[in-house]
């Protein structure tokens, strides 16, 4: 991973940022990008090995990110972790709801238990993490929440119906929070990535046939990298996007 960040946003220096699912993939790129801007970053994940490797890589940053192991499906643990971070680092100013899991599944195989699990890891934690940080943002009169959606919702991809449903819910959540909390100075937006070249995607889903279809359908004939998504998150967290809220920002290479 590279920590090259393109634009520099002085307003992000010292800003307190929490990123869920920050140990790998897009989340790790976001952790690196915000840390390179001089932000005070905390990230949540279950993967302690990848988190340790990321922290080692980011040693030169002005503020070394803080890692907390947290099961986002355990709402009590999530609430306690966010409260502890607010007490130690200060109130959260930017929340990036990134964590998700795009496990493939057939409609006919979905049980109530699998439904609850996939909704928990892909949607429910975004709502409750936002709920936890909103009071401090309201008191401050400003704040930013960035939710991660997916192009699968826009295109209605097969073989992951609960994931697609959850990502549709993320768009609805974004619009609802933006409207409700806009009067308090809180901006809420959604990033909708296309197929991003993460290690997980390469390991699980990348085949010559799938890559050929991606290349055919994209207007821009290149891979979307995690760092590309991170740069968009930087913009949405910065004051340069001060009048952007309730919007879906698609980054899919024109797919």
CA distances, 158 to each of 13, 104, 162, 165, 215 (Å): 42, 9, 10, 11, 19
The residue written with tokens 């795009």 in the block is 102
* Spatial distance between the Cα atoms of 79 and 75, rounded to a whole number of angstroms: 6
Question: What is the pairing mode between strands 94-97 and 248-251?
Answer: unpaired
Query: CA–CA separation, 251 vs 61, rounded Å?
Result: 27
Question: What is the b/e burial string over 148-175, where b = at least 16 CB atoms within 10 angstroms of the residue's CB?
Answer: bbbbbbbeebeebbbbbbbbbbbbebbb
The tokens for 232 are 């968009």
Query: Residues 9, 34, 43, 163: which is the catalytic one?
Result: 163
Based on the residue annotation, tell me whether 157 is a catalytic residue of this protein.
no
Axis-axis angle for helices 75-89, 125-140 (nearest 10) = 30
Per-residue tokens: 217: 């359908």
**Catalytically active residues, by annotation:** 163
């Amino acid at each position: 991973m590279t920590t090259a960040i393109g634009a520099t946003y002085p307003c992000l220096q010292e800003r307190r940022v929490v990123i869920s699912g920050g140990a790998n993939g897009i989340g790790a790129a976001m952790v690196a990008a915000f840390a390179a801007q001089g932000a005070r970053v905390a990230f949540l994940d279950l993967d302690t090995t990848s988190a340790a490797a990321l922290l080692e890589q980011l040693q030169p940053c002005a503020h070394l990110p803080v890692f907390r192991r947290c099961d986002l499906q355990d709402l009590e643990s999530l609430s306690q972790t966010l409260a502890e971070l607010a007490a130690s680092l200060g109130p959260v100013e930017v929340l990036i709801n990134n964590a998700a899991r795009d496990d493939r599944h057939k409609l006919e195989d979905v049980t109530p238990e699998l439904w609850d699990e996939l909704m928990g890891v892909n949607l429910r934690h975004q709502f409750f993490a936002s709920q936890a940080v909103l009071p401090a943002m309201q008191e401050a009169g400003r704040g930013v929440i960035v939710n991660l959606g997916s192009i699968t919702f826009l295109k209605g991809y097969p073989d992951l119906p609960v994931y697609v449903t959850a990502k549709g819910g993320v768009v609805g959540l974004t619009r609802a929070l933006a409207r409700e909390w806009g009067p308090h100075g809180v901006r809420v937006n959604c990033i909708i990535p296309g197929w991003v070249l993460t290690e997980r995607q390469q390991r699980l889903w990348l085949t010559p046939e799938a890559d050929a279809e991606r290349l055919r359908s994209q207007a821009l004939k290149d891979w979307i990298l995690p760092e590309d998504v991170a740069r968009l998150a930087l913009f949405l967290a910065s004051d340069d996007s001060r009048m952007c809220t309730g919007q879906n920002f698609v980054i899919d290479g024109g797919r």
